[in-house]
């Protein structure tokens, strides 16, 4: 485990990460920080907790959309593989019969 410090909206947060996860965690923290900053610029009069909540909901929405798209792609791939398998089985049966 490695201890790192990240900054989100100007506040330092200590995190413990596996050595191989450090770079990914730093990228994630930079992404979250940028999204929070963008929302803070747009919602100047709102409390920080509201800004952070709305930004977190926005990030979660993106995640759910990507998961849905990925799931649809996996479903399409599964249907395609079933068709290919069915066609191969039919072809093998025809070959055996001749």
pLDDT in tens, 40-70: 999 999 999 999 999 999 999 999 999 888 8
> Where do the domains of the chain lie?
2-72
Whether the predicted model's global pTM rises above the 0.85 cut: no
With DSSP H G I counted as helix, E B as strand and the rest as coil, what are the percentages for the chain, rounded to 5?
75, 15, 10
Beta-carbon count within 10 A of 39 CB? 21
Stated length of the chain: 98
Cα separation, 53 vs 61, whole angstroms: 12
At 16, the pLDDT band (50, 70, 90 cuts) reads: very high
Mean pLDDT of the residues in the chain: 90
């Amino acid at each position: 485990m490695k201890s790192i410090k990240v900054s989100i909206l100007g506040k330092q947060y200590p995190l413990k990460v596996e050595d191989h996860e450090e770079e990914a965690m730093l990228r994630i923290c930079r992404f979250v920080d940028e999204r929070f900053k963008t929302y803070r610029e747009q919602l100047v009069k709102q409390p920080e907790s509201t800004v952070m909540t709305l930004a977190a909901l926005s990030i979660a929405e993106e995640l759910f959309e990507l998961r849905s798209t990925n799931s649809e792609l996996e479903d399409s791939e599964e249907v395609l593989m079933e068709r290919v398998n069915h066609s191969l089985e039919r072809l093998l049966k025809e070959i055996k019969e001749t």
